[in-house]
Chains A and B, each alone.
Chain A
C-alpha cells in the first residue's frame, strides 16, 4: 500500500458511506411497501438519478475492493507486488463488468 492507493481507497470508502445508507434505506422502503419487481423496475427504468447512483456505487466498489484484495494478496500470498496488482485489477474489472451489467438491467428502458 502506498499513498496513491491509500487515497483512492479512502476516497471511495467516503463515497460509499452515504451510498450504502441510501441503498439500505431503499431496501427497507421497498420491502415495507411490499413493492414487486415490476413496481421497482417502473421507477428505475430510464431514471438518470438511479443510473448515476448505482453507477457511482459500482465504480467505487470496484476500485475499493480491488485495492483491498491487492493488499491481502501482497500480505498473505507469496505473490510479488506486480502480480498481486494485476490479479487485483482483473478482480476489479470483473466487479465493474458485473456491476455495470446489473445497473444496466434495472435502469435501461
Chain B
C-alpha cells in the first residue's frame, strides 16, 4: 500500500454507460483539488481521459463529478477533505447518461429546466417604464435566496427522487422555477405553476434534502420546492391552474 502522504491511489471511471474503474498513482501535493488530480492523470498518465471543466474557480458549474460516492464540484474540493486513506474514487455524475469517462451528458438536466419553464418571460417591453423592485419585498427576498445556482447538476445527481422517477424535474429546475414565480416582472407564472404542478413536478419531492446538503452554493432547493408546493396547491384550489 502506498504512503498517503506522498502518493494518492485514484480510481477513475473509464468507458461510457458500461465501463470500469481504472487505478492510477498520482503524487500527493499540498492544497491539491480533486480537479488537479484528474488533470494530472490526463496530462501525465493517460491523455485519452475525458472530463469537463472550464473556470476552475467555482463559477461555471462544469466540473462536477462523483467523488468517493458523493457528487461534488471538483475544482473547489480539496483532496485532503475527501480522500480516505489516500484513496479517491472519481466517476461521472449519477442520474445522467455518461458520454465518456468522467463527462456526464447534461442534456436531460437542461431539458427539464425548459420543462419547468425556467426561462424568464417578460411582461413589459423596452418602451415601458422599468419595474421598480424593492429589495426588501418578500418576493424578492425569496428569489434572492435561490438565485445563485451555477447549474452544476450536483443536486440532480444527489436526488433520490430523480433516481426513482425519471420524469421528476429535479431540484435545480424547480429551484429556478421558484425564483421566477417570485419575480413580479415575469408574465408566465400560470403556465409555470401548471408545469411544476404536473406529474413529475414539485409534488413528487420527498424532502430528503440531499440537494440542500450538497449544493456547493449553499442554496436550499428543498425550501424552494416546498414554496412551489404551497403556491401551486393554492393556485389549484383557487382554480387558477
Contact = CB atoms under 8 A, between A and B. Distances in A.
A28 interface: no
B188 interface: no
Contacts of B236: 3-4, 7
Interface stretch (A30-38, A44-52, A74-82, A97-105): A74-82
Contacts of A2: 197-199, 201, 203
B204 interface: yes
A10 B198 CA distance: 16
Q: What's the interface size class on A, roughly?
A: 10 to 19
Contacts of B229: 6
A3 B164 contact: no
B2 interface: no
Contacts of A4: 236
Interface residues of B, number: 15
B163 to A, nearest CB: 9
B164 A6 contact: no
Contacts of A24: none
A56 B230 CA distance: 26
Contact of B233 (A3, A74, A81): A3
B234 to A, nearest CB: 10
A14 to B, nearest CB: 13
Nearest to A2: B199
B165 A5 contact: no
A1 B198 CA distance: 8
Contact of A75 (B165, B233, B237): B165
Contacts of A74: 165
A76 B161 CA distance: 10
Contacts of B180: none
A3 B165 contact: no
13 contacts: A1-B203, A2-B198, A3-B197, A3-B203, A3-B232, A3-B233, A3-B236, A5-B203, A7-B233, A7-B237, A10-B233, A74-B165, A75-B165
